[in-house]
Amino acid sequence: MSPDLPPVVPSVTAELVAALSPRLRKRLDAGVTKLLARPVARDGDTVRIAVDDETDLVLHAPSGAVTSAEAIHCACLLAPDCVHRAAAASAAPVADDAPVAADPAGETETRHGTEDTRDVEADGVTLGQRTAAREVFDAAGAVLEAGTDGAGAVLQAELLHAAHTARLAGLPRASAAAVSVVTAVRAARTADPGYRLTDLADALADVLGVAHRLPHATGPGLTELRGTVRQPYRPDGSLRLYGLFSEPVLTDTGYAGAVTWTADADGRLYTVSDVAPGGPARATGAADRSVRIGDTALTHRELSRAGLAVSGATVSPTGRLGAGAGVRAVRASGTAWHAEPLDRLWAVPAAEQVARALNGGQDLLFLEVTLVGTVREATGDCLLADCGGVSLRLAAAHDDPALPYRDNLRLLAAAGGSTLRIVARLAPGPYPRALLLAAEHPNDRDARVDLGLDRLQRADLPAGAVAPPPAAAATGDEAPLHVLRRRVHQAVSGGRHVLSFNGSAPGDAARLRRHGLATAADLLDDLHAAAADRSRDPFGRLLPADTGRFARSWLAAAVYTDAVERTLCAQAWGAATPETAVPSGT
């Protein structure tokens, strides 16, 4: 996946790949790899790729994204039936598909306007939605079956087609989840430094879970599974907001910018965002762009330290401030983290904040910690801190070298013994862990550092500060649940076949049972059995694999693992056990 290319909506990629002949489909992955190595030039809304010394491929994105197949033009002799156009769409980030209007029953018009799905009552799943959910499940199951190494451009296009179908059927959540899987698969196949196997596993569990539960859902559960295309904004009158911090946004889908977090006098959080197609340069530069609310001239960086008085405010369910024509905003004074009203955010016990996050609430943590040093992990060094007697690991929020997160984390490691207030995002796991976003300045308790935008210098640290060598991670008895989690992740990476001939399966299951995790052992046995299940016809030839069974077995193991890990996370923080909703039938 190339961030130099404009995003392409799913329907365009699916259309171009579907139009290829079987022979060209076999060459598509090689075409993507070759195209990613070719030079790219941008001129306004036009992006040009030099396919060779004499042939150019042109992508037109007047709205920031390619929204039609005709917007990708190739000058080769085989065009428009060449592999280059489909390769370009498959190499580009995935854009949001064109919005479609839904009726009160949650139905939408199909592109051809010939299908009537109103044969089910309005408060239930329509036939079109049931069909779309099955298509999403099957396409995502095929990606899981193949693993990242085998999920090439053709399988990705099939999942994008299913995502587009789901969107037309009034299922924006399933559509968005499918697109997230494609984005993560492309990041894995192009060795993107931001790729994380855990993120792909979570995305696959989300899309399979939504598609699996939809046909049987009713009432509020169905509304949640359908999702919404755009979050509605509601009037919220006048607001007096105080800046907290800003963080850069840099996604795998080719979007970048900044989000500034603010709070009102009651401690409710609100965000102001500026996110658009772009790369690391836009993520770092957006902080110095003016906030797009009313007539204010404040930049995001300034707002994170100052305040805002808003009249006629509109707010989304997640706290994002709208910028409609009736909204007015002017600069106001800010306040320090140790002063009211922001001080009350840090007054909430850490365990209570973690319980809130694990139960679907705000995942930001406002903590006061004492820096201890660093601990070495497989993904890099983490900052080790004491948080009210809890040993906390603070990791970089993003690994892109253009963002200063990791450099700032290394410098803070030299401030051992310092007690600082921080803002972090919970990273659920069997031990306390969070992603560090902002911190109190090591030498000035009234100042703060946005760790994704500001760069700390050696002079900012206490005199004589020296970073201690990183300690090794704890090597105690490995959590038995890791056995099941490892198999779940192996399937995502290598596909079904890596689990079909696993000689360690009986030993792993026995180990889980010895530790009282009988359900985990049963799920592991079922996962291996589903992976190895290949029937033969009367002539001894292998029949097509049962992709659905393997996907359901994998989903059950993934859901169980997530639920148990959330419980272990709560126990590690001393928080209340989270409410877990394990889908029936998984």
Specify the CATH number of the domain 234-332: 2.40.50
pLDDT tens string 490-504: 999 989 888 877 656
User: What is the structure's pLDDT at 111?
Assistant: 33
What does the alpha-carbon distance between residue 345 and residue 362 come to, in Å, rounded to a whole number?
12
User: What is the structure's pLDDT at 470?
Assistant: 63
The backbone torsions φ and ψ at residue 505, rounded to the nearest 5 degrees and listed phi first, read -55, -50
Looking at domain 343-472, its CATH architecture is Beta Barrel (2.40)
Q: Counting Cβ atoms within 10 Å, is residue 114 exposed (0-12), middle (13-18) or buried (19+)?
A: exposed
The backbone torsions φ and ψ at residue 365, rounded to the nearest 5 degrees and listed phi first, read -115, 130
Q: How is the beta sheet containing 307-315 ordered, strand by strand?
A: 269-277, 255-263, 234-250, 307-315, 328-332
For residue 421, what are its two tokens? Answer: 């207030």
pLDDT tens string 414-468: 888 889 999 999 988 778 999 999 999 998 889 999 999 999 998 888 876 665 6
Q: What share of the chain is helix, strand, coil (3-state, %, to 5)?
A: 40, 25, 40
- Is the pLDDT score of 121 beyond 60? no
The domains spanning 234-332 and 343-472 adopt the same CATH topology = yes
- Residue 277, SS3 per DSSP: strand
pLDDT tens string 540-576: 776 677 788 999 999 999 999 988 888 888 988 988 7
pLDDT tens string 569-581: 898 898 877 765 4
Q: 123 vs 16, which has greater pLDDT?
A: 16
Contact criterion met (CB below 8 Å) for 365 and 423: yes
User: What is the structure's pLDDT at 1?
Assistant: 66
Does pTM surpass 0.85? no
Per domain, the residue ranges of the chain are: 10-91, 127-226, 234-332, 343-472, 481-573
* Orientation of helix 153-168 relative to helix 10-18, angle to 10°: 130
User: What is the structure's pLDDT at 435?
Assistant: 94
